[in-house]
Amino acid sequence: MNNRRNQSNDRNSQGGNNRGKSTNSSRPSAGKGRPTSESRSGSGSEGGKSFGPKKPFQKHGAKPFVRKLKAAPVDDGTIRLNKYVANAGIASRREADELIKTGIVTVNGNVVSEMGYKVQPGDEVRFDGKKISSEKNVYFLLNKPKGFISTAKDEKDRKTVMDLMSSATTARIFPVGRLDRQTSGVLLFTNDGYLTKKLTHPSHDVKKIYHVTLDKNLTAVDMAEIKKGIRLIPEGIAEIDAISYIEKRPKNEIGLEIHIGWNRVVRRIFEKLGYKIDALDRVSFAGLTKKTVQRGDYRALTELEVNFLKMM
């Protein structure tokens, strides 16, 4: 009996001592219990669990998301009618929609007024009865030197202005109007047939300014005659817009503004009065000048310049 009671007391005293020790050991001392560099880096483990970076959440059995790229649309050679009209230089795409609604555009002889209509390769498109092309329009200004013919080809195999423009573009461009072989200066090039006809038609009175160098001084009497108008055969009276001596130059250097486009008209005016032209240079055409363009060089017109020409 006493032995059992003594054993029980011994166990109680041991348990009390253990509880006291447990309480003291669970209280961390200064510097203890802080995460180590190993645990912070995620490479440590506790109870077999990793503290490294977790994998993205993914439902059981779900396949990873893969973005599918859409296949590029197949180019079948068709083009929307409004874009076709816009590329022809007639109007913007929005304006072309309004023109199409009026029935002024035909495809293969049939009036098309539906929006979104697509033109097939080989279709013939006409605007107001005139055949048009969807080739992108380009516009260039050349400072033409003397000695070049203003044609695409020459039967005598002489140098043409197209030789100077051979590297400008792959589009089929043509000169707007002409300058004779010995005349230098501003010459426009484009594949925009609509604008070409507009700039060369007499009804639009497109202004051209020339620097004329004569073999002798121009008299005041002859200048007055030119202002009145010189009769040329077979066209009639050549009316000029303005004529004057060039400031701070000899009186054989003349500035002449004219809108008529008769063949060699400037040379013929002075020749009729007994003068010979030593040099003829067109310094302006439709408001465009050759400033900053060296003789024999060309430049592309700006969008602002093209819009200005279209509004004339």
Instruction: Give me the active site residues, please.
Output: 180
Sign of CA dihedral 148, 149, 150, 155: negative
> In DSSP terms, which residues pair with 45 in a beta bridge?
50
**What's the token pair of residue 1?**
């009996």
> In DSSP terms, which residues pair with 242 in a beta bridge?
257
Backbone angles phi, psi at 19, to 5 degrees: -65, -40
Q: Is omega for the bond preceding 64 within 30 degrees of 0, making it cis?
A: no
Spatial contact of 161 and 174, defined as CB atoms under 8 Å apart? no
DSSP string, 234-270: TTEEE--SEEEEPTTS-TTEEEEEE----TTHHHHHH
Angle at 262 between CA 143 and CA 225, to 5 degrees: 100
CA atoms within 13 A on the CB side of 180: 12
**What's the token pair of residue 164?**
């100077």
Burial 269-305 (b: 16+ CB within 10 A, else e): bbebeebebeebbbbbbbeeebeeeeeeebeebeeeb
Written in H, E and C, the secondary structure of 11-73 is HHHHHHHHHHHHHHHHCCCCCCCCCCHHHHCCCCEECCEECCCCCCCCCCCCCCCCCCCCCCC
